[in-house]
């Protein structure tokens, strides 16, 4: 069973931030943490499945473009990176004001690959905000097992 790790869990759950020790938390922070929570406060959902021929990693990146995501395999490690920048423009020429909000999100995750992955044949495809990485298995590669004698 996989459990999704959320490094921002304390920021998302404001009530746990100071364990209700500070009554002035809401007055001091205002709605800053709520706005932060709304933009990329959680890591993308990742699913890993395997069958006899492949391992498949499925990552959800809603709102990300294909050129904002990179994947690479170095030695026995698959690394995913994503950087997303979003700008919201709002203006009212009648009242003479303009507002620009800029948010930037960054994601980085690495996986140790099993020994039976054929690295040269790894493929990735991005469609509708979902990255799907197919890691072919080589049935000829056997896992290295070494029996250790206990003295």
* Overall pTM surpassing 0.95 (yes/no): no
Task: Report the alpha-carbon distance of residue 102 to residue 137 in Å, rounded.
Answer: 42
Sign of CA dihedral 126, 116, 54, 112: negative
Profile the chain (151 residues) by mean pLDDT over runs of 10 residues.
63 50 47 45 82 93 89 91 86 80 85 90 93 91 79 81
* φ, ψ dihedrals at 23, nearest 5°: -75, -20
Strands (DSSP E) along the chain, which ranges? 46-50, 54-60, 69-74, 77-92, 97-112, 123-127, 130-136
Q: What is the pLDDT of residue 36?
A: 46
Res 6: pLDDT:
65
43-136: CATH topology is Immunoglobulin-like (2.60.40)
Could you tell me if 61 and 80 are in contact, meaning their C-beta atoms sit under 8 angstroms apart?
no
Cβ count within 10 A of residue 44? 21
Q: Where are the domains of the chain?
A: 7-42, 43-136
Note the helical H segments in the chain.
Answer: 9-12, 14-17, 25-29, 32-38
pLDDT of residue 90: 83
Report d(CA 106, CA 95) in Å as an integer: 36
CA distance 107 to 60: 12
The pLDDT value given to residue 37: 44
As to burial, measured by CB atoms within 10 angstroms (0-12 exposed, 13-18 middle, 19+ buried), residue 87 is exposed
Q: What pLDDT is stored for residue 34 in this prediction?
A: 45
Question: How many residues in total does the chain contain?
Answer: 151
pLDDT of residue 133: 95
């Amino acid at each position: 069973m996989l459990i999704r790790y959320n490094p921002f869990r304390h920021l998302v759950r404001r009530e746990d931030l100071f364990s209700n020790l500070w009554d002035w938390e809401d007055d001091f922070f205002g709605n800053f943490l709520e706005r932060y929570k709304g933009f990329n406060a959680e890591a993308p959902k990742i699913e890993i499945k395997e069958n006899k021929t492949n391992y498949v990693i499925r990552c959800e990146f809603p709102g990300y473009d294909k050129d904002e995501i990179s994947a690479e395999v170095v030695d026995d490690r698959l690394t995913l990176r994503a950087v997303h920048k979003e700008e919201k423009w709002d203006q009212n020429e009648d009242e003479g004001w303009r507002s620009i909000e800029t948010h930037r999100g960054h994601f980085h995750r690495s996986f140790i690959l099993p020994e039976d992955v054929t690295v040269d044949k790894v493929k990735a495809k991005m469609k509708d905000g979902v990255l799907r990485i197919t890691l072919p298995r080589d049935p000829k590669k056997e896992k290295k097992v070494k029996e250790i004698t206990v003295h």
